[in-house]
Amino acid sequence: MTIFETFRLKVRPLADSDFSSIYRLLSDPETMRYIRAPFTEEQQARDRMAFWADYAEKCPGLGTFVIEMKDSGAFVGFCVARQVAYDPSSHEYEIGYILAPECRRQGFASELVPPLNQYCFGQSPAPHLVAFTHPDNAVSQRVLTKSGFKYIGLRETAEGTSAEFWLERNA
Gap between the Cα atoms of 48 and 53, Å rounded: 9
Residues 92-101 have a mean pLDDT of 97
Q: Are 38 and 32 in contact (CB under 8 A)?
A: yes
| Model confidence pLDDT, tens digit, residues 19-64 | 999 999 999 999 999 999 999 999 999 999 999 999 999 999 999 9
| Model confidence pLDDT, tens digit, residues 59-87 | 999 999 999 999 999 999 999 999 999 99
pLDDT value at residue 41: 97
pLDDT value at residue 171: 64
* Ordered alpha helix ranges (H), 27-137: 29-32, 42-58, 108-123
What mean pLDDT, rounded, does the chain reach?
96
Q: Are 159 and 36 in contact (CB under 8 A)?
A: yes
pLDDT value at residue 116: 98
Which domains occur in the chain, in start order? 4-126 (3.40.630.30)
Amino acid at 120: C
Give 170's pLDDT tier (boundaries 50, 70, 90): confident
Phi, psi at 117, each rounded to 5°? -60, -50
